[in-house]
Structures are given as structure tokens and as C-alpha cells.
Structure 1
């Protein structure tokens, strides 16, 4: 495979989509679509979320220090795309049919249709030129019961979750739900490592 040098970019590095939920100052829910989301370890699993540009979602996270991260599924994609392509500063944005409820632990809006939701509390933020990174404690995780049912094959549970990914090329993608192998299947590929 011949390689070429390019400018800094993360194309073809799949990122799972989440809708971040906050409450506006008037108490109504606000959601935006984001994918710069990952994890870290600091004695327990935490979340790091980066938001570029100026957005109502970022304003509300800075103000309240809490938000929800709702996994986007294939069936949720049309509403997620709408929410991600309309500014939160537009007061009419959220005048849509969207079923939400309050988080189980934090005062954050949660999407009823999302099968995996993190309730997050920011404990540290880092501001950069054009973006902010929020380091968060996971205060609660709301999960569709069937996704934790080990009697259901993991491939089937992934099909049920149906997460949507983004690769930075202007297209949304589904996972093909096809198992490639298990962790450790190739640990002896080159024989035993000798010390």
C-alpha cells in the first residue's frame, strides 16, 4: 500500500455519533449532534468530549457542567441529522416531536429512543483555539435492558443497538455487524514471545 502525506485529518477513522442533551435557560431540552467523543481512565472510566466552534450546547455545558450523551441509532438518524444541522440558538429548533425524559441521576434531558445514554458531569475543561475539551465523570449509564442480556449473541445485540458512525467524508455509515474475531485470537500468530 503506497501512502501519501496529507494535512491533519481524521477521515476514515470511524467515530460513533452522539446527541448531547442540555437544558436551555428556560428549562426546555436542547440537543446537538457530535462525534468527538472518547474515553479515559482516572481510577474509573471517564468520558472526554470535544466541541468545536460556538454552540448553544457548549454554552449550556459550560454553564451547568452536566449533559447527556445519547447514542445515535440508525432509526434516530433523520432527527439527529436535523438537530446537528440546525443551530441551537434558533429558538424554533426544538419545536419538533421528540420524546425525552429527565436523567435518572443528573438534571439532563435524555432521549427515550436511545439505547445507550451517559449522564455526564464535567470536572475539568480545556479551552483551545476553536474548541473545548470536557473531561467528564460518568454519573450514570442508562442502557436498553436487552443490550446487557448475555443470553443474546453479541452480534445480535450490536444489530439491535444499530449505532451510526461518521468518517469525516460527509456521509453517515452503519456498522456491518459482522464479527471479525475475538480479542486474543491472534496472540500466538508469531509464536511465543521470548524474553
Structure 2
């Protein structure tokens, strides 16, 4: 029997994404966001939801761009810090020992040390309540060569991304490979 626990943000897991933006004076800024996902395949888009009090909120509106840097397990402390400190009064790149890289395609920086980067141009802004959802068109994906498979595309186990569990307020690494998508379920098809 299932027990009702009320309306909560308990989708599990949520990604750990580090959103890159430029501030009012062109300073690079990052913040960790867990409310994000792929939201369209053509054009390729992501959605990330931020509160208006965040420095990144105004930065995205001003520059019409953002990046998503996906940290690997070895950068869990740096990713957590980027979500704790405020970009309004802190140079998070310097404190975390991370390197900002200026995107050639959008007006936003990304994190050099993180293995997978999505460069996004702002398409839509949707007011939802406490959060505003920013939908960005992915104009390019950059990946460290070490995380690419034989087909030239990123491999989850090599990227080794983080997940966040909202009810526990805990980070997790990736798990074991369970099998091929669009194949495992075929045994149930009649």
C-alpha cells in the first residue's frame, strides 16, 4: 500500500547542473541547479528553473544565454559550493578552484574542468511561481575526449555525473548499466 506524503518536489533523481552566466560587469558566475531537464529534441532544448533572487536569474535575462556544465563525481564539493554561495558577492570560480571558459557561441562561460557542457541560447521564459523556467536552445555540446565512446558521443559511465535526491538532500553517483534501451522491453511486446 502506498502512503500519501503530499505535493512535494520528489521526482528522483534530479540532475546536478552548474549554470554558467556573466554578471552585470561581465564577471563569470556559476550556480548549481537541480530543477532541470531536456525539454525538446527539435530544436534541442533544456529547461532549468531558477528563483528570482539568484544572481543567475538576472544574468540570463540580460545576456539571453547560459551554459550547463555537468560535473563528474570528483567535483561534488565544487558543485555543492556553487549552489551554496551567492554570485552577488563571491567569485565562485576562484573559491572553488575552477576555470571559466568564454563560450564562442553564446554570451556565457562554462567550467573547463567539468566533462560535458551544453551551450544555450535563451528561447523562452516561463513564470511558474517561486521559480521561473528558462528554456534554452542547445547550440553546441562540448565534451572531454576522455568521456566519448567509440561512436564519438558521451558515455554516461565515463562522464560519471551527479544526481540529487530532493527528499534526502543528498548527492549520488551513477549506478550500474542495466541494459539497452528500446531493447529490454521487447520481451514484453506481443
Report Cα offsets for 1:91-139 as digits up to 9, x if no partner.
4545423212111311211111111111111111011221101111111
The count of aligned residue pairs is 186
Say whether the 8 Å CA contact 1:10–1:167 is kept in structure 2. Answer: no
Aligned residue for 2:51?
A: 52
Between the aligned partners of 2:37 and 2:92, the Cα distance in structure 1 is 27
1:63 partner SS: helix
Whether 2:103 is the aligned partner of 1:103: answer yes
Between the aligned partners of 2:66 and 2:151, the Cα distance in structure 1 is 32
In structure 1, list runs of 5 or more residues that go unmatched.
none
Whether 2:139 is the aligned partner of 1:117: answer no
Output aligned runs, 1:137-156, within 5 Å: 137-150=137-150
TM-score between both structures, scaled by the size of structure 1 = 0.86
Question: Considering only CA atoms, is the larger Rg found in Structure 1 or Structure 2?
Answer: 1
Assess, with a 3 A threshold, how the Cα gap between structure 1 residues 172 and 4 changes in structure 2: closer, same or farther: same
Aligned residue for 1:67?
A: 66
Between the aligned partners of 2:93 and 2:135, the Cα distance in structure 1 is 27
Assess, with a 3 A threshold, how the Cα gap between structure 1 residues 162 and 43 changes in structure 2: closer, same or farther: closer
Output aligned runs, 1:1-195, within 5 Å: 2-11=1-10, 13-41=12-40, 43-91=42-90, 93-96=92-95, 97-150=97-150, 157-168=155-166, 169-176=168-175, 178-183=176-181, 184-189=183-188, 192=190
2:163 partner SS: strand
Between the aligned partners of 1:145 and 1:94, the Cα distance in structure 2 is 23
Between the aligned partners of 2:40 and 2:151, the Cα distance in structure 1 is 29
Deviation >6 Å, runs of 4+: none
